[in-house]
Amino acid sequence: MEPARRANEEQATLWNGLGGRGWVEAQSALDRMLRPFEDLLVESVSAAAGSRVLDVGCGTGSTTLVFARLVGKKGRGVGVDISAPMLAMARERAEQERAPATFVHADAQVHAFEPASFDAIVSRFGVMFFDDSVRAFANLRRAVAPFLPNLPARDPDAPGQFAFADRSRVRRILEDSGWTGIDVVPIDVVCTLPEQDLIRYLTRVGPIGRVLQEADERTRARIMEAIRPAFAPLVDGADVRFTGACWMVGARAE
C-alpha cells in the first residue's frame, strides 16, 4: 500500500475515533476559543446571498452554519469533513438552528466535487491535515467556479495597456526596427479619479470592464463585491489616488 494512502487512513482513523469524539465533547469550548478566527474568516470572504460556499474540514459545523446563514436559501453552504462523529453533531446543530447547511462525509483531498460548483472555499484550520497538500488544493481548485470564465488569458506581449511593461522588450523592438540612442526612463505620476466614478470605471474600462458589460446582474454584483475593497487604500476623501508607473521613451531615427 502506498504511503499517501496510509496517511489518509491514519487521518480517517483519528478523526472517526478518539480525535473526532474528543472534539465533539469539547465543541462548545472550542467554538468559543476559535470564534475570533471565525469572525476574521467571515470578514475576509465575500459571501453574498445566493453564493455557493464550501467549508473544508468543517468539523462540527460552526463556520459552515455561519456561511449558510449568510448565503441564505438561494445559496449553498456545504461542509465537508472526514469525521463521521463530528459531522453528526454538525447536522444536529443545523437542524436545531434551521440553518440551510448540508454536510458531506468525505476526504476533501480526493473527493470528486462537481467541477465549478462553488463560488468560494473556506476553512478554519481544516486544511492542515492533508497528507498531500498540492493534490488536495488542486482538487479543491477544480470545484471553484471562476468569476469570469470567458475572460481572455493575459498575454504580456499582446496589444494593450501593459504591452510595453517590459523595458527590455521596448528596447529590443526599437533596436530591431533601426532606432538608435534609445533611452527608457521610468516615470511615476500620481493619477486621480473621483471616488463616485470608481465603480463606473471598473465596470466599463479594460478587459474586465468589457466582460462585465456583457455579464448578468448577479455576476456584476459579485465581482464588484469582491474587488471593490481592494481599492479602499487608494481612496482619499472624494478621490481615488494611485501612482501610474510608465516609461518615458526616447530614440533617434538616424
Residues 71 and 108 in one domain: yes
11 lies in some domain: yes
Domain boundary among 142, 176, 196: 142
Size of the chain, expressed as the number of residues it contains: 254
pLDDT attached to residue 3: 44
**Predicted confidence band at 1 (pLDDT cuts at 50, 70, 90)?**
very low
Residues 129 and 173 in one domain: no
161 lies in some domain: no
128 lies in some domain: yes
CA distances in angstroms from 22 to 15, 30, 90, 109, 125, listed in the order given: 9, 11, 14, 23, 17
pLDDT, tens digit, 9 for 90 and up, residues 210-227 = 777 777 777 777 777 777
Pairing of β 180-194 and β 239-252: antiparallel
CB neighbours of residue 39 within 10 Å: 11
Residues 137 and 22 in one domain: yes
225 lies in some domain: yes
The CATH number given to whatever domain includes residue 127 is: 3.40.50.150
CA angle 222, 223, 229 (to 5 degrees): 100
C-alpha to C-alpha distance for 32 and 21, rounded to whole angstroms: 18
**Average pLDDT of the segment spanning 58-86:** 94
pLDDT, tens digit, 9 for 90 and up, residues 159-181 = 888 889 999 999 999 999 999 99
* Structural domains in the chain (count): 2
Task: State if pTM tops 0.75.
Answer: no
Q: Which residue range forms the structural domain that includes residue 25? A: 3-142
157 lies in some domain: no
149 lies in some domain: no
Is residue 90 within 8 Å of 58, Cβ to Cβ?
Answer: yes
pLDDT attached to residue 152: 67
pLDDT, tens digit, 9 for 90 and up, residues 95-141 = 999 999 999 999 999 999 998 899 899 999 999 999 889 999 999 99
Exposure string over 213-238, b if 16+ CB within 10 A, otherwise e: eebeeeebebbbeeeeeebeebeeee
58 lies in some domain: yes
CA 175 to chain centre: 42
**Predicted confidence band at 203 (pLDDT cuts at 50, 70, 90)?**
confident
Residues 88 and 173 in one domain: no
Residues 125 and 193 in one domain: no
Residues 62 and 173 in one domain: no
Residues 130 and 174 in one domain: no
Domain boundary among 107, 142, 177: 142
Residues 176 and 78 in one domain: no
pLDDT attached to residue 7: 53
C-alpha to C-alpha distance for 38 and 58, rounded to whole angstroms: 12
150 lies in some domain: no
C-alpha to C-alpha distance for 103 and 90, rounded to whole angstroms: 8
